[in-house]
Amino acid sequence: MKRVHNFSAGPAVLPLEVLKKAQEELPSYGDTGTSIMEQSHRGKAYSQIDAEAKERLNRILGLDDKFHILFLQGGASQQFMQVPYNLLGDDETADYIDTGRWSAKAITEAEIFGKVHVPFSSADDNYTHVPTSADQLDLTEGAKYVHITSNNTVVGTQLPTEPETNGVPLVCDASSDFLSRPIDVDKYGIIYAGAQKNLGPAGVTVVLVNKEFIKGQADRDIPTLLDYTTHTEKIFNTPPTFAVYMVNLVLEWVEEKGGLDYFQKVNNQKAELLYSTIDSDDFYRGTAKLDSRSKMNVTFRLPSEELEAQFLAEAAKHDLVALKGHRSVGGVRASIYNACPMESVQALVDFMKQFRSENG
């Protein structure tokens, strides 16, 4: 069985141990005689999986049962709309920190439902940096919430920690760095994440809703399926059962490895190895400013677009795949999420050194 070094930004690499376990259980889950994909979402087997996944998330993040854990569909893109639909009244203001392509899309959706203030934007600087201190933020007094995108896959930037909001709840699109490091959950009203980068296969979106925060729901009629409260106490409609099953296996793997402290340490090591190679001379050039660099998506350029095309072609021959930068910015992007092993990063670094020696 061939496995390449996969640096896809999403859907992304999954732990090999998880894939093998899923492979073993695919024809028959436990002693049921059927695949989990073939079973009722109301049945005992899936109900146990759903409960286990939520219990594991509660433990891993230290949620202390303060959050409803929802497995929804529609990706983060649906949450761009669903958050303000549920929580932002017509005459209320939410602050949206603008650090990239996805936060800009979230702003567009939120403006449909209420007032939006942008306390920080790096759009004029091609989104190469994020706010790293409180004095960079022009926050609204009495804002309903402050929306952040914790990691920006396209440009390779990441908030180093939660911004100081003076007690205003954070709403976070954590799709691309979810479970990569510890967070202060008490600062959050909602955390949402598409699973396909750091948590599982495409098809399910994890939404964590603070039980106190949801009490401040907007005064408007919300369609049943889009109302968070519809999903807080029960499985309302058929969820993506196989995707949730895979999420549960990934969460089991996260716990077995040592939880968020372990992954923060390893992710720091992988990023340091890769960035130190980029910074060793001027052949490779990191595109994000030093204090804003992502530990999940490492973006860089070569001296010319022709060399970049050659780099990508030769990398593929060395089984280093999915390194092409996002179509909107070009360049090279290595996504090194939790499941990307150190061996893959080392293989990429070795190739980068060889390519530089032959073409520098």
Residue 153 assigned as binding residue:
yes
Residue 8 assigned as binding residue:
no
Residues with catalytic roles: 102, 173, 197
Count CA atoms closer than 13 A to 229's CA, side-chain side.
13
Residue 77 assigned as binding residue:
yes
CA gap 323, 6 in Å, rounded: 8
CA gap 79, 122 in Å, rounded: 22
Residue 196 assigned as binding residue:
yes
Residue 350 assigned as binding residue:
no
Contacts of 114 (CB under 8 A, 6+ apart): 84, 88, 89, 90, 91, 92, 93, 94, 144, 218
CA gap 258, 295 in Å, rounded: 19
Residue 267 assigned as binding residue:
no
Tokens of 354: 């060889």
Give me the residue label for tokens 């959706």.
109
DSSP codes joined into one string, 2-34 = ---EE--SSS----HHHHHHHHHHSS-STTSSS
Residue 224 assigned as binding residue:
no
Please classify residue 246 by burial: count the beta carbons closer than 10 Å to its beta carbon, then call 0-12 exposed, 13-18 middle and 19+ buried: buried
Residue 173 assigned as binding residue:
yes
- Annotation: binding site for pyridoxal 5'-phosphate: 76-77, 102, 153, 173, 196, 237-238
- Annotation: binding site for L-glutamate: 42
